[in-house]
Structure 1
Amino acid sequence: MGTVKNQSGAGIPGAQMLFEGPQTHTRNRNSNGGYQTLDLIPGTYKITVTAFGYKPKIEEGVELPATTVVKNYILEPQ
């Protein structure tokens, strides 16, 4: 769970997150930029965050345990 925001701190509606690892999963953000992913298998993931008009944010080697993890992202304009 967490948020996807711009540099001003506003949530980015419609941002997408791709989780690639033991399981591949895509999530769309809500209108406030918030997301929640409860059903991922624990393991090491590559997380790609994209939104129209923003540079993609890629984070590799992210360890997601069976417990709740908060990951917040800030995207920069293209």
Structure 2
Amino acid sequence: MTARWTRSLSPLAAADRLGLSRADLVALLDDGTLASHFEGWHRRIARSDVEALAATREEVGPGAPERRKPFADCA
């Protein structure tokens, strides 16, 4: 296991951090917008990836069209 995955989050924790439902987060994982790996049957997401995506969403600001682009397919 690489250092990237040593601090990982569950899908529910990542969804909470991003302000998304778990289902919307899983859609991002399935389409490759956000990387994940499995530990046994459990999916894990690198905390650094979640924080980078959260920072991108916060920089754009609420309601901006650019903010919705990465999540357009999840609606």
TM-score, normalised to structure 2, is 0.26
TM-score, normalised to structure 1, is 0.26
Bigger fraction of residues in helix: 2
Bigger fraction of residues in strand: 1
